[in-house]
């Protein structure tokens, strides 16, 4: 029998896909509206009304999209302060992770990653025939900087992937550590999918800053903490961001990144021409026009993250880790985290369960709307001791 599958792909473990919402809804015998979905770090508020309106008014869905996403990149340049020429949009940050690895890696080239972190890094490395080398994080999820330096050097690594805030714990990489790692002869890919939830100001503080006409003011305050503009300073840095978490557009798949000048022409060369579809582009543009709405929702999510952690502190079998993102990681003590996840699921509350090195017996819970936190806390109480 013919089998021309690449041997390394034939041997790969499949990526565990999420169970579609409709399937889950049928399995649990609950309407989607009755499910509290806190398992995938999505934005519970969904897109802004301006996005919905723009999608309704779209007139060119029958025409192929602009392969260069010019309008969107212009708007992103204004939003981030990074020149348009240094920006590329992708079908989610996921596509950009794959694209960078595809351009850079020859078979066997080393990618260094610091697990526990986002599962797409080892996955995309394997798909692109790279060699994945892990430098595990310390117990508090901070990076082992010396070990990263030694590993990058020993393996002559091509790519170092960093995630800040890190998924699944929500910890940040300090600027000092980042600068130190950028001194290595390696392309650093910094994934900032959750950066919009760092250092979030409440509405009053935002208004005050706006009144003062502060330079570089961005309503979500994220630009102040994002490292996107560092690509202008370091030619071995790529920074990725997304509309999935900030703007509630996970289902439409729009992300973007800033990249080194030497890399971009080759990324453009091999990118699928129509990677950003017309609806995704319209939605992202409209979202960027509704920044106060985005900022309000981000502030609400951060507020709810804090409330969720505080409410769950009443259960001494849940040990939370401090988070700068839109989720909180809990270590489950003295009981089975998988069973807890299943018990919550029976009550219509979905959380993410982990049991792997560095994450044994853990659950990660995304911040939801206030009523969703209430349902979560009530379900936890019911499950009780």
Ligand X SMILES: Cc1ncc(COP(=O)(O)O)c(C=O)c1O
Residues 322 to 351 in contact with ligand X, rule: CB under 6 A:
none
**114 forms part of the interface with ligand X (CB under 6 A):** no
> Is-contact 172 358, C-beta < 8 A?
no
- Tell me the window of 88-96, 169-177, 270-278, 308-316 that interacts with ligand X (CB under 6 A): 88-96
Residue-by-residue DSSP string for 293-355: HHHHHHHHHHHHHHHHHHHHTT-TTEEE---SSSEEEEEE-SS-HHHHHHHHHHTTEE-EEE-
Q: Coil, strand or helix: which one is 363?
A: strand
Q: 380: burial class by Cβ within 10 Å (0-12, 13-18, 19+)?
A: buried
* Sole window of 90-98, 274-282, 314-322, 347-355 interacting with ligand X (rule: CB under 6 A): 90-98
Closest distance of CB 26 from ligand X, Å: 24
Interior angle at CA 145, CA 141 and CA 150, nearest 5: 130
Residue nearest to ligand X (CB): 92
Q: Which is nearer to ligand X, 15 or 217 (CB)?
A: 15
Instruction: Give the Cα separation of 297 and 50 in Å (integer).
Output: 14
- Going across the sheet that includes 87-90, the strands are 87-90, 255-258, 237-242, 187-191, 159-163, 110-113, 131-134
Rounded CA separation 342/335 (Å): 13
Distance CA 78, CA 318 (A): 43
* The one segment of 87-95, 122-130, 177-185, 214-222 that binds ligand X by CB under 6 A: 87-95
Residue among 39, 94, 304, 372 that touches ligand X (CB under 6 A): 94
Size, binding site for ligand X by CB under 6 A: 13
Length of the chain, in residues: 385
- Contact between 170 and ligand X by CB under 6 A: the answer reads no
Compose the 118-137 pattern: x for residues touching ligand X by CB under 6 A, - for all others.
x-------------------
CB of residue 245 to ligand X, shortest distance in Å: 7
Query: Given candidates 255, 320, 348, 358, which one binds ligand X under the rule CB under 6 A?
Result: 255
Closer to ligand X by Cβ: residue 181 or 280: 280
Distance between alpha carbon 375 and the CA centroid of its chain, in Å? 25
208 Cα distance to chain centroid:
29
Write down the least CB distance from residue 7 to ligand X, Å: 28
Q: Measured from the CB of residue 269, what is the shortest distance to ligand X in angstroms?
A: 22
CB of 359 to ligand X, least distance (A): 14
Nearer to ligand X, 41 or 151 (CB): 41
Give me the residues that bind ligand X (CB under 6 A), please: 41, 92-94, 118, 163, 167, 191, 193, 242, 244, 250, 255
């Amino acid at each position: 029998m013919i089998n021309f599958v690449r041997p390394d792909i034939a041997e790969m473990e499949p990526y565990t896909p999420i169970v579609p919402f409709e399937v889950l809804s049928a399995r649990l015998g609950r309407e989607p509206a009755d499910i509290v979905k806190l398992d995938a770090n999505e934005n519970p508020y969904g897109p802004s009304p301006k996005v919905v309106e723009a999608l309704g008014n779209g007139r060119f869905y029958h025409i192929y999209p602009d392969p260069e996403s010019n309008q969107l990149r212009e708007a992103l340049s204004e939003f981030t302060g990074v020149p348009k020429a240094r920006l590329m949009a992708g079908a989610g940050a996921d596509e950009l992770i794959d694209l960078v690895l595809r351009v850079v890696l020859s078979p066997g080239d080393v990618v260094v990653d610091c697990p526990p972190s986002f599962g797409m890094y080892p996955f995309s490395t394997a798909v692109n025939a790279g060699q994945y080398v892990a430098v595990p994080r310390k117990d508090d999820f901070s990076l082992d900087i010396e070990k990263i330096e030694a590993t990058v050097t020993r393996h002559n690594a091509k790519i170092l992937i960093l995630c800040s805030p890190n998924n699944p714990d929500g910890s940040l990489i300090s600027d000092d550590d980042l600068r130190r790692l950028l001194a290595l002869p390696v392309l650093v890919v910094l994934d900032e999918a959750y950066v919009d939830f760092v250092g979030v100001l409440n509405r009053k503080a935002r208004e005050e800053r706006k009144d003062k006409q502060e330079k570089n003011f961005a309503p979500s305050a994220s630009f102040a903490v994002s490292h996107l503009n560092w690509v202008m300073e370091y030619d071995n840095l790529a920074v990725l961001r997304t509309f999935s978490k900030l703007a509630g557009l996970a289902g439409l798949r729009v992300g973007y990144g800033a990249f080194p000048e030497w890399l971009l022409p080759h990324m453009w060369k091999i990118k699928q021409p129509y990677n950003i579809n017309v609806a995704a582009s319209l939605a992202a543009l409209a979202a960027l026009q509704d920044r106060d709405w985005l900022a309000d929702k981000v502030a609400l999510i951060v507020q709810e993250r804090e409330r969720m952690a505080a409410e769950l502190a009443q259960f001494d079998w849940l040990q939370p880790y401090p988070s700068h993102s839109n989720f909180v990681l809990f270590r489950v003590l003295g009981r089975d985290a998988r069973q807890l996840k299943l018990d919550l699921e029976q009550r219509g509350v979905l959380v993410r369960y982990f049991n792997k090195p560095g994450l044994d017996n853990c659950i990660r819970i995304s911040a939801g709307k206030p009523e969703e936190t209430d349902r979560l806390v009530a379900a936890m109480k019911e499950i009780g001791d």
